[in-house]
Amino acid sequence: MKRAIYPGSFDPITNGHLDVAGRALRLFDEVIIAIAPSMSKAPLFSLEERVAMATEASRALPDSQRLQVESFNGLMVDYAEAKQAQVVIRGLRAVSDFEFEFQLALMNRKLNPNVEAIFLMPKANYTYLSSRIVKEISRLGGPVEAFVPECVRHALEQKHRTA
């Protein structure tokens, strides 16, 4: 069985993330969306909230029964090895993403040469989309329903209503 890990902070998960996850499901027998704590990014949502949103949002994907959502700590390559995953999926939106992702892939290869990186591009209409931009639009009261699943839109409204 070919298993892939799709790691990230997913703060919050966007339609672009889900597009990449759906593409990965067409290529692999099983995909794990692996959510990292990412405390250095000062996440808006707790790890538990991000796992819950990603779990709910991913149910709409075709073949979602082959997709799991989990959190992890530590090195992603160690997590991938523990899950017996052969591949790490990374999304590339634009050329600007490539340099960082390329460096990360080479470092991960040095740490564990048994785990390959595969880069997937989302649909063209998601290439501008990022969690950071979605959070800013929401914080300023703008509409985000075109960018995130309904459960995420609702969670963003709740966060900003109580802030």
Catalytic annotation present for 38: no
The secondary structure of 22-69 as a DSSP string is HHHHHH-SEEEEEE---GGG--SS-HHHHHHHHHHHHTTSTTGGGEEE
Which position among 17, 50, 90, 153 bears the catalytic label?
17
Which position among 26, 41, 132, 154 bears the catalytic label?
41
Which position among 9, 23, 50, 131 bears the catalytic label?
131
Distances from the Cα of 129 to the Cα of 3, 22, 77, 110, 140, angstroms: 26, 16, 26, 30, 17
Catalytic annotation present for 93: yes
Catalytic annotation present for 131: yes
Which position among 3, 83, 93, 109 bears the catalytic label?
93
Dist. CA 32–CA 3, nearest whole Å: 8
Catalytic annotation present for 41: yes
Q: List active site positions.
A: 17, 41, 93, 131
